[in-house]
Structure 1
Amino acid sequence: MGCGKMGSWISRELAKSGNKVAVFDRHEEKALGLAEAGCAPLAKINDAKGFKPEILVNAVSLGNTISAFNEAMPHIGEECILCDVASIKDGLEEFYAKAGLPFLSMHPMFGPTFASMNTPKGENAIIIKGSDKKASVFFREFFAERGVNVSDYTFNEHDGMMAYSLTTPFFSSLVFASCINATVVPGTTFGRHLAIAKGLLGEDDSLICEILFNRHSPRQIDRINSRMEHLKHIIMARDTEEAKKFLARLRENIK
């Protein structure tokens, strides 16, 4: 379900590996566009009943993930494994506990903006601890065949790490983009930051909001603001010695 960037990639790759894949999207033309990749487009979600899926991969936006599962569940078997690829897992642990069906929660941490979907070798994916063993093995092999590294985290550990690894660069790039003056001729460093900001803003709004609205984000943003205030204090005081100490700590951080 969901034939956006990630949903389309997973569908194509599964079909390419010889799996029978059916696809559904509320925008029917997106599902129809995957027919040439060997996927069977479904006109309605209740058509899944005839397809009898073993795994239901839910790649819709986070805000619609649970409602999409609820809509699909009457049309799948009791042994069908529910699978999400959400960037933030808020609410999913509780949903799976109540659903009573086996589940796999994963997060392919790459996308079309900063990584090649055709060659994801060296990229990373996360599988949530407690996921169905059979489905976990299947997708570990799926990622391994494409050179993608797989790590394991709990739901809470995953979202906490996303506040660090995604909210931090997203927030920094958005603040940078908000200060752009189109009349300024950029230097090399500025140009590189600008390219990153443009890439980020090329992502779906729903994905950017998912990352920013992570319940762990405010604490991470508070940390960023604290560091910014400290740096501002150093600049205002023109304190060279403190600036050198600050830069030394940063160099140590990024070793």
Structure 2
Amino acid sequence: MKAGIIGGTGKMGKLFAPVFERAGYEMIVSGRSTAVTNADIAETCDLVIVSVPIRDTVRVIGEIAPLLGKDQVLCDFTSLKVAPVAAMLKSEAQVIGLHPMFGPTLSSIARQTIIMCPARITGTMLSDLRGIFLHEGAVCTIATPEEHYRMMAIVQGLTHFVTICMADSIRRLGIDIGKTGPFMSPVYQIELSLVGRLLSQDPALYADILQENPFVPGVLAACRSAAGELSEIVQGGDPAAFAEFFSRDTRHLGTYCERGLELTDALIECMVKK
């Protein structure tokens, strides 16, 4: 069996190539500086994976789609699923969208989530592909491209929006991050680390996640509404109004509040030990 990763010279490709090699695939990759072309992969590989920037994904899929046959499997690794899956379905290949819910800076996919969006694929091939990830210790979630879009608007869109807003608020206030060090609480350190992690990466990735998902605007509208209401309550100085706002969210999150406390306590303990 042969598998190929288009864009496989990138970090995500380098993370996943050994995963498929350990599963018994002969791996080849293409990239800007490789002799192997995208067409070579499409014409010779049983499993074809597209791992290129989001804005290039549909175009690249369109270029290779006519080269694929019914016995091949076509996948992608992008954060968006509806348009890439639709583009892949124009080929004759079996199709499944994949979204690793983690960055390529990790050394392993163990205990990490991979979203799988089967569109046109046999049960055997789906089971085999899922088995490869499970064998590596990953967690697999099956979803439709539409379900994926809705969840990513929250899991990625809302999270990244709030993180970027925190960074920009610090900039607007003219705060010297270094001077906050002597005043740093564990929670602030965690939040600031998330800001630094995001800003150290490619802005095009986050632009695509926020701008290309049609469900993100609705999520951001809810975020703006929540921020506006909370701002009014804070400026109003009424502790009872704040407690009611706070309690509504506590009730909605339910038992996850305690779980979140436990997880962050464990994280803080690890930070202290280092």
Q: Distance in 2 between matches of 1:46 and 1:100?
A: 15
Give 1:76 shift: 4.2
- The structure that is helix-richer by fraction is 2
Task: Work out the CA distance in 2 between the residues paired with 1:234 and 1:149.
Answer: 41
SS in 2 for 1:98: coil
Tell me how far 1:63 sits from its aligned partner.
Answer: 1.1
Number of aligned positions between the proteins: 238
| 1:18 and 2:24 matched | yes
Query: Does residue 95 in structure 1 map to residue 78 in structure 2?
Result: no
The residue aligned with 1:46 is 39
Aligned equivalent of 1:235: 234
Return the TM-score normalized by structure 1: 0.85
Give the fraction of aligned pairs with identical amino acids, expressed as a percent: 23
Measured against aligned partners, the alpha-carbon deviations of 1:79-121 in whole angstroms (never above 9, x if no partner) come to 22111111111413432343333211111112245xx332x33
TM-score (norm 2): 0.79
1:126 aligns with 2:105: no
User: Structure 1 pair 46/95, CA: closer, same or farther in 2 (3 Å)?
Assistant: closer
User: Where do 1:1-255 residues align within 5 Å?
Assistant: 1-3=6-8, 4-28=10-34, 42-48=35-41, 52-112=44-104, 116-118=106-108, 120-133=109-122, 134-180=124-170, 181-182=175-176, 184-186=179-181, 187-188=184-185, 189-213=187-211, 214-252=213-251, 253=253, 254-255=256-257
The CA distance in 1 between the partners of 2:234 and 2:85, in whole Å, is 45
The residue type equivalent to 2:115 in the other structure is I
Q: Classify the secondary structure of the residue corresponding to 2:151.
A: helix
Gaps of 5+ in 1: 29-41
Aligned-partner Cα distance in 2 for 1:239–1:13: 56
Q: Which sits farther off after the overlay, 76-85 or 207-216?
A: 76-85
| C-alpha distance in structure 1 between counterparts of 2:17 and 2:162, whole Å | 33
Contact kept, 8 Å, 1:79 with 1:101, in 2: the verdict is yes
Provide the rounded CA distance (Å) in 2 between the counterparts of 1:49 and 1:219: 38
Aligned partner of 2:160: which letter? F
How well do the aligned residues superpose, as a CA RMSD in angstroms?
A: 2.0
State the Cα distance separating 1:185 from its structure 2 match.
1.5
1:167/1:211 contact within 8 Å kept: yes
* 1:74 shift after superposition: 4.5
Residues of 1 paired with 2:133 and 2:230: CA distance? 41
Answer whether contact 2:115 2:142 (CA < 8 A) is retained: yes
Distance 1:208 1:100 in 2: 32
Structure-2 change in CA distance of 1:192 and 1:219 (3 Å): same
Q: CA deviation at 1:75?
A: 4.3
Say if 2:113 and 2:138, in contact at 8 Å, map to a contact too. yes
Tell me which moved more, 103-112 or 166-175: 103-112
Output the CA distance in 1 between the equivalents of 2:147 and 2:33: 34
Q: Report the equivalent of 2:268.
A: none
Give the SS at the match of 2:180: coil
Q: Is the 8 A contact 2:111 2:139 kept in 1?
A: yes
For residues 136-163 of structure 1, give each alpha carbon's deviation from its aligned partner in whole angstroms, at most 9, with x where no partner exists. Answer: 2222111111221111111111011000
Structure 1: which amino acid aligns with 2:208? E
The 3 A distance-change label for structure 1 pair 198 and 12 is: same
Distance 1:135 1:233, change over 3 A: same
Structure 2, unmatched stretches of 5+, are 1-5, 258-274
Contact 1:104 1:131 in 2 (8 A): yes
Q: Using a 3 Å threshold, how does the CA distance of structure 1 residues 147 and 131 change in structure 2: closer, same or farther?
A: farther
Asked if the contact 2:118–2:142 (Cα under 8 Å) also holds between the matched residues in 1, the reply is yes
